[in-house]
Copies of this chain bind each other. A is one copy, B any other.
Amino acid sequence: MEELVGDAENDFARESRLAMRKGEWTGVTQFRARDQVLANLVVIPKKWAYDFVVYCQRNPKPCPLIEVLEPGDPEPRYSAPGADIRTDLASYRVFRNGEFEADVREIGELWREDSVGFLIGSSLSFDNALVRAGVPYSPDVWVLNSSIPTRPSGQFSGNMVITMRWMSAEQAVIATQLTGRYYNNHGAPVHIGDPEAIGADLMNPIVGAPVEEIPDGVVPVFWACGVTPQVTLLGAKPELLITHTPAHPFMCDLKVDRICLP
């Protein structure tokens, strides 16, 4: 029960959100995060919400739900009581009918009575844990399309977007053990080794430089990626979709080392 309840005394998270609300912090949220859970944001009209929440239930690795907000209510009552998802991220991305429209600083004008907010776990939450366990942080994280199908729900379907990190075999074992604990943050890898086995499109990454060949001596490790729900949603072309801008997720009161304990 308690595992996803925000900490009302968490001044650091509240002050960080306030700094983003005021435009005093516009940098990469992760660099300010310490031990806080960072969550991807999705806002869609209520009529799309049932199929989407079931889509997330069916695809917990790419779409781990941290919180589903009440329709029309911008306060994440459990993961960040008192916060306002319309103002408390550093940057938002607006899509209409499946097309990018703009990055904006706040979404008060776009908020509707039937807007439903979703906070979705992110692998950013286990980066520091990997470092503490001896898997060095590397900025070389690729975001790739794959041929792994997600389970459809209503109008939502598509293949999984994945991240790729490469590391030593020993680190791959450590990373598998450790991320397997973070079931709210994509969990264990979906694949280790041969990229072709899961159709990882190395020549056309969504993020990162094209990879001609995996270097000798490293093991590529693949995780489900939070870009998946965004790509899936865009494919269904909702009239209005709002997400965080990449690198600017929502900072919860929740602690990373707490929410991995069921």
B57 touches A262 (CB 8 A): no
Give every chain B residue within 8 A of A3 (Cβ-Cβ).
Answer: 60-61
Q: Specify which chain B residues have a CB less than 8 angstroms from the CB of A57 in the assembled complex.
A: 53, 57, 65, 68
Cross-interface CB contact of A262 among B58, B188, B261, cutoff 8 Å: B188
* Interface of chain A residues 103 through 155 with chain B (CB within 8 A): 148, 150-151
Task: Compute how far the CA of A3 lies from the CA of B59 in the bound complex, rounded to whole angstroms.
Answer: 10
Residues of A within 8 A of B (CB): 1, 3-4, 49-50, 53-54, 57-62, 65, 67-68, 78, 148, 150-151, 160, 180-183, 187-188, 190, 224, 261-262
A16 CA to B262 CA, complexed, in Å: 30
CB distance from A190 to the nearest CB of B (A): 6
Residue in contact with A68 in the complex, picked from B58, B61, B62, CB distance below 8 Å: B58
Could you tell me if A1 and B65 are in contact, using CB atoms closer than 8 angstroms? no
In the complex, are the beta carbons of A1 and B54 less than 8 A apart?
no
Known: A181-B262, A188-B262. 17 other contacts (CB 8 A): A1-B59, A1-B61, A1-B62, A1-B160, A1-B224, A3-B61, A4-B60, A49-B50, A50-B50, A54-B68, A57-B65, A57-B68, A58-B67, A58-B78, A78-B151, A180-B262, A187-B262
Q: List 18 A-B contacts (CB under 8 A).
A: A1-B62, A1-B148, A1-B150, A1-B160, A1-B224, A3-B60, A3-B61, A4-B60, A50-B50, A57-B65, A58-B68, A58-B78, A60-B262, A78-B151, A180-B261, A181-B262, A183-B262, A188-B262
